[in-house]
DNA sequence: ACATTTATAGTACGACCGTACAAAGAATGG
DNA sequence: CCATTCTTTGTACGGTCGTACTATAAATGT
């Protein structure tokens, strides 16, 4: 009655490989054939796993979001106050090893801004992930509105500084500005 | 000896029309034919004016940068201190009328981050424009390094907040965070 | 008027795109 | 063993892409 079972792990493997490829080769003119060639499979295999190209793009977005958030959130809950948590977040995101990943992130983000219905949920989720993490980093006694306000500001500033860093490569100037900002955050509740 | 003169104004007209089209229809899958159809000209006309597609993209970037910077810089030199200048900049950039323009801006920016050599100079210039304007907004007696640091931070924060606003549409929350940030800026030299 | 250069349009060509289709191998349950 | 389902591949089709080529109209200087 039941035939060969669906190999879900295989899809996950391929997705991760596709994300790796995308991080390296960019997102703007991604197509089946070069990706398949790079992975050593046929285009049909990719189509079989992801359905349509748009569905693959959505899958890439989701996986990329997972990766980026996982890499930063694991160190976000271990800090006593917002200042050190924000510093840890900044150190993580501005690390040179993750530069390519964040270049892709902003490319995807910008594209999602122009096609919100196509990538519905992605933008909201990316903000929500960080919001929750940074709200928790503040003391439990903090006024909710203040916590939201501060978290919004921290996320925006880190993201804006990262954008500057990726665009100019002037690490010294950007780091200097980051220090100034981090110094304004509350250090002990 | 000399034939018909080159009509440079025509190129400028077409470029502005193309930028208008791009603001509305997005940047990611722009191609000659739909643009030409929308403008009521042939693709050959566009090719004749811009050369190759890549050259047209570069032209779009340059014009978009001009537009955005012109719209905000005109009110940036008239303020007594940094706080009011930054507030004016934020009010301008976060205005709902310019939303589509900034969506395109971030899409272009993100793409330029992944193909820096293709859009060489664009990223540096976009930062430099604002840097100069915001450095001048601070008093002439300000320490240069402090001025650079503050300008970097203001630009990054505004850009990050704008990114959040465009992604979530939660104007109240973002505006709240913006007020918090603006309140930290020096108000009188 | 005439030669010369630009402006615009129509057409055509090769390349790549997404994806549908058919066929063959592999893994399951009965 | 066998039927069934999944996996992978090769191939083919229609469409769009960028752009080169050709021809005609318009605007200049002599």
* pLDDT tens, position by position, B3-40: 899 999 999 999 999 999 999 999 999 999 999 999 99
Mean pLDDT of A20-37: 97
Rg (CA), chain B: 19
What residues 104-163 of chain B have any CB closer than 8 A to a CB of chain A?
Answer: 104, 106-115, 123-124, 126-127, 145, 148-150, 152-153, 155-161, 163
- What residues contact A172, with CB distance under 8 A and at least 6 apart? none
**pLDDT of amino acid A189:** 54
Residue A1 beta carbon within 7 A of nucleic strand C: yes
**pLDDT of amino acid B2:** 83
- Number of residues that make up chain A: 189
Whether residue B26 lies within 8 A of chain A, CB to CB, comes out as yes
A-chain residue closest to B163, CA distance: A156
**Residue pair B146/A153 in contact by the 8 Å Cβ criterion:** no
Instruction: Nearest by CB to A107, from B111, B149, B163: name it.
Output: B111
User: B8-183 adopts what CATH topology?
Assistant: Tetracycline Repressor; domain 2 (1.10.357)
- What residues contact A145, with CB distance under 8 A and at least 6 apart? B176
Q: How far apart are CA A21 and CA B179, in angstroms?
A: 41
**pLDDT of amino acid B76:** 73
**Confidence bin at B97 (pLDDT 50/70/90):** very high
Reply yes or no on whether the pLDDT at B147 is more than 80: yes
Q: For residue B94, what are its two tokens?
A: 């976060």
**pLDDT of amino acid A75:** 75
* pLDDT tens, position by position, A126-136: 888 888 888 88
**Confidence bin at B126 (pLDDT 50/70/90):** confident
Computed over every residue of chain B, the mean pLDDT equals: 92
Whether residue B9 lies within 8 A of chain A, CB to CB, comes out as no
Reply yes or no on whether the pLDDT at A71 is more than 90: no
Instruction: Nearest by CB to B174, from A124, A152, A184: name it.
Output: A152
- The domain ranges of chain B are 8-183
Mean pLDDT of B121-131: 85
Mean pLDDT of A14-36: 97
Residue A65 CA to nucleotide C24 C1', Å? 38
Residue B2 CA to nucleotide D30 C1', Å? 9
Residue B178 CA to nucleotide D2 C1', Å? 70
**Angle at Cα A106 formed by Cα A105 and Cα A109, nearest 5°?**
90
- Number of residues that make up chain B: 189
Reply yes or no on whether the pLDDT at A60 is more than 70: yes
Reply yes or no on whether the pLDDT at B157 is more than 80: yes
């Amino acid at each position: 009655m039941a035939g060969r079972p669906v190999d879900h792990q295989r899809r996950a493997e391929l997705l991760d490989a596709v994300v790796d490829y995308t991080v390296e080769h960019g997102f703007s003119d991604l197509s089946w054939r070069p990706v398949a060639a790079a992975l050593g499979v046929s285009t049909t295999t990719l189509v079989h796993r992801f359905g349509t190209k748009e569905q693959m793009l959505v899958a890439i977005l989701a996986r990329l979001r997972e990766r980026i958030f996982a890499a930063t959130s694991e160190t976000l809950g271990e800090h006593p106050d917002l200042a050190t948590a924000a510093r840890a977040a900044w150190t993580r995101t501005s690390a040179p090893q993750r530069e390519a990943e964040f270049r892709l992130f902003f490319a995807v983000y910008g594209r999602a801004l122009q096609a919100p219905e196509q990538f519905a949920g992605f933008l909201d989720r990316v903000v929500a992930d960080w919001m929750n993490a940074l709200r928790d980093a503040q003391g439990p006694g903090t006024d909710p509105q203040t916590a939201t306000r501060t978290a919004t500001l921290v996320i925006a500033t880190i993201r804006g500084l990262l954008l500057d860093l990726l665009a100019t490569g002037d690490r010294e100037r950007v780091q200097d500005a980051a220090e100034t900002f981090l110094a304004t955050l509350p250090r002990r509740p």
